[in-house]
Chains A and B, each alone.
Chain A
């Protein structure tokens, strides 16, 4: 029985284990050619000329330059300010300048040499500091109460500045698309993507095609993490332009180097905190400034900034809050969606600031959080009143209990004090320095603000001739497992067996636009719709059968007669012809948000978590090894606990990679870590034991926000907690202050020499 809370094997499991699953690069169409992209070597330059010498291009290769575009030179996302190909100027290294297609991948690469481009290099803006004085790409603010007065009244004002760096997604399957035109001019695009309808919109906008002329189908997606939210639209356009130019299907697949060079990253961020606190450690005023490096074009930075603003105060109570947030423009590739979408950066900052405050007041990290964490009925600075499922304190208490946080921390502090007293702080003892750290975090589930209200996502269900229910959504399974979770939801909501329900592949020609597979909305928002539409279609089957009930796929009459649901559905389908229902998501009426003041309920609900991380730091190399993570999370009801835990485990390790290893160094606007040998992500030997505990607050039915069976979004939550917990653990182990990540050994050494301590610079 695959009920809610069971963990059935995922339907694509064996195909993936055996190599049978087909990803984009595993596909080939008859007559297909291969594309390649000419990219700017300059961070900022005027393009004087582009010449193509057909004689140098092998095998009849064709090219596309900006002059060949049939419509506007913009990838339509929120707006179309992101060029498909660089025009008169190039604004970042790796920006696409021209395209080629040739019969083989190798020939396409070779054909790039047939271009001669004349650039006139210009000055480039390459850091947040340099960008700060210039007009931003986007800015936002929020005010609650009177911050200046509250700061003036506070017993103590603590300042802090916290930085986070670029992070590259490193989905194991690189980005790629195949485009092909039919004889009637209709375009079909296959590819690895999170948002088929985003891709369709970009194609119709730039190519001047009608919706019904453009069909977009997602293939098996080998990881996304946000990296396949906006970028696939650009690649689809490139592939389509090449297919149009050569009159054949064209495959455009990035190798790892190209994928790292040109696709989006997590926004590097600088957060400045000025916090007023009372003597007993309560927050009295939060004055927050957020600077995010948006790169060369806005793409999704406005909405990333929005989510950043709305998580920058952390899961804490404070009435007097001022937040100023800016996305700044630099001459680097656009930074964009990455799991957490702005929240991990600002939650790193507020958690570090809480630790600094605790240090100044002589409180331990658990105590400062216990005194300030929000509880049900509390207001966030936005004015949103928190629901009964507000689990900051239960998560914190449970993680502290499970890890004996206080006792363990005292043991480790005592060990450090003993070493210091013996004059052996960095001397003879070869044994690694142990440290423990804790974080508290939250994540708003679903689109920010009025996003869901504007989209009103539809999901369709219809009866198949064999009596099964087919559910149609545009969601892609990029590994997170919606292909397993959706059937569980539909079966449970309809009183059916999993085999009574089937799901359509994400294909814009078949499925309605149920929105993008992003923002931790898949289970909570679309899953909720699946529950409703399946139940509604079941009721449609029962319409002629008063008093009948459905359970486990069987219909029972008042007289006790039973019949397979599928038989009754097949009869109805045979008698009435197609039976189909579409329902749209409607946020609860109470969830209103003012986009100008940033006041109101920005999210229907929040998921909560607390992490404890234990690390060891090598006394000779300052290398940090995370040993054990305990994550206690409250995500409402876990529909599929194994997959739910998998999200938390994987997200936690991504957070640790971001905190410790993953660094993107820039030189003249070029990423130096542009290969997997130099951009290092955690191997299995870098990974701690990750122990996940789920607190299920909504076990008895739906929450106030309409998630199916009480489920909240989980995908992004775990990205928020790992980094600040690790930073605290390093401080605990070494006494070196950690104001930024990644906390590489090189930086720890520099901070140690600069006198950086947990309380700030000595």
Chain B
């Protein structure tokens, strides 16, 4: 069965079982390996993509529900970043937001959604947005440094 959707602005068709995970279709069929599998059960956020503009977990989206929808992956989102996202990505590397990088694509996709609606999020707003993205390397501090201005200590 073939399913047509927009991937990073380009029309694509994917073949496969309707219940195939979008994650597998992106990675194995469409060559978009930037989207990572960290758990396969919706816990870690590494596979986050945007579906019609909203961050979702591609391991929990069946292919058939993508028909006619708009999918954006980390490759598309970071291809020509502008404004607050571009600045955030530069700071992300500089402030230690990246270590092993396996969680990073998912975090970037979530952050892109946050920044699209809120160009200057507070530390608490970033924390709320990233509650569904696990990172095991950074203790999250490097990520927060990249996004949120320093706040007075409690």
Q: List the interface of chain A (C-beta within 8 A of B).
A: 7, 9-10, 12-23, 25-26, 169-174, 220-225, 255-257, 478-481, 627-628, 642-643, 645-646, 649-654, 675-677, 681, 683-685, 687, 689-692
Contact = CB atoms under 8 A, between A and B. Distances in A.
A566 to B, nearest CB: 27
Contacts of B82: none
B140 A687 contact: yes
Given A628-B154, A687-B139, A650 B74 contact: no
B89 A689 contact: no
Contacts of A22: 33
B131 A479 contact: no
B153 to A, nearest CB: 7
Nearest to A654: B136
A10 B93 contact: yes
A684 B133 contact: yes
22 contacts: A12-B98, A13-B93, A13-B98, A14-B93, A17-B89, A17-B105, A172-B38, A172-B44, A172-B102, A173-B36, A173-B38, A173-B100, A222-B101, A256-B39, A256-B40, A479-B137, A481-B99, A642-B94, A649-B141, A654-B136, A676-B134, A683-B132
A675 B104 CA distance: 21
A692 B141 CA distance: 10
Contacts of B130: 683-684
Contacts of B141: 645-646, 649, 687, 689-690, 692
A13 B142 CA distance: 13
A681 B99 contact: no
A19 B74 contact: yes
Nearest to A683: B131
A27 to B, nearest CB: 8
Contact of B138 (A9, A646, A689): A646
B103 interface: yes
B27 A26 contact: yes
A412 to B, nearest CB: 14
B99 A650 contact: yes
A185 B143 CA distance: 46
Size category of the binding interface on chain B:
35 or more
B101 to A, nearest CB: 3
B35 A19 contact: yes
B92 interface: yes
A59 B92 CA distance: 45
A649 B98 contact: no
Q: Please name the 4 residue pairs, one residue from A and one from B, whose CB atoms are nearest each other, closest first.
A: A19-B34, A479-B100, A16-B101, A222-B102
A255 B41 CA distance: 10
A172 B108 contact: no
B73 interface: yes
A178 to B, nearest CB: 14
B62 interface: no
A514 B7 CA distance: 44
Nearest to A172: B102
A676 B139 contact: no
Contact of A685 (B34, B131, B153): B131
B50 to A, nearest CB: 13
Contacts of B65: none
A679 to B, nearest CB: 9
Nearest to A648: B139
Interface in B83-102: 89, 92-96, 98-102
Interface of B: 27, 32-44, 46, 73-75, 78-79, 89, 92-96, 98-105, 108, 126-128, 130-144, 153-154
Contacts of A18: 34, 74-75, 78-79, 105, 108
Given A256-B41, A645-B96, A676-B41, A21 B27 contact: no
B138 A650 contact: yes
B129 to A, nearest CB: 9
**Which of B79, B92, B127, B136 has its CB near the most chain A CB atoms (within 10 A)?**
B136
Given A17-B105, A684-B133, 20 more contacts: A7-B94, A9-B94, A13-B98, A16-B105, A18-B78, A169-B136, A172-B38, A172-B102, A173-B38, A222-B100, A256-B39, A256-B44, A478-B100, A481-B99, A642-B142, A646-B99, A649-B138, A653-B139, A684-B140, A690-B139
Contacts of B36: 23, 172-173, 222
Given A683-B134, A685-B127, A256 B34 contact: no
Given A10-B93, A19-B78, A649 B142 contact: yes
Nearest to A8: B94
B41 A677 contact: yes
Contact of B136 (A170, A221, A256, A257): A170
B37 A9 contact: no
B103 to A, nearest CB: 5
A10 B154 CA distance: 31
Given A25-B37, A172-B100, A689-B153, A653 B94 contact: no
A360 to B, nearest CB: 33
**Which of A14, A257, A628 has its CB near the most chain B CB atoms (within 10 A)?**
A14
A650 B43 CA distance: 19
Contacts of B142: 642, 646, 649
**Which of A17, A23, A256, A652 has its CB near the most chain B CB atoms (within 10 A)?**
A17
A22 B27 CA distance: 12
A479 B99 CA distance: 4
A172 B134 contact: yes
**Which of B94, B130, B135 has its CB near the most chain A CB atoms (within 10 A)?**
B135
Given A650-B136, A650-B137, A690-B139, A17 B78 contact: yes
B102 A19 contact: no
Contacts of B128: 685
B41 A17 contact: no
A43 to B, nearest CB: 25
Contacts of B32: 19
Nearest to B43: A676
B94 A689 contact: no
Contact of B44 (A7, A645, A676): A676
B12 to A, nearest CB: 17
Contacts of B42: 677
Contacts of B74: 18-19
Contacts of B46: 172
Contacts of A9: 93-94
A681 B134 contact: yes
B40 to A, nearest CB: 5
A23 B36 CA distance: 9
A657 to B, nearest CB: 9
Contacts of A683: 130-132, 134
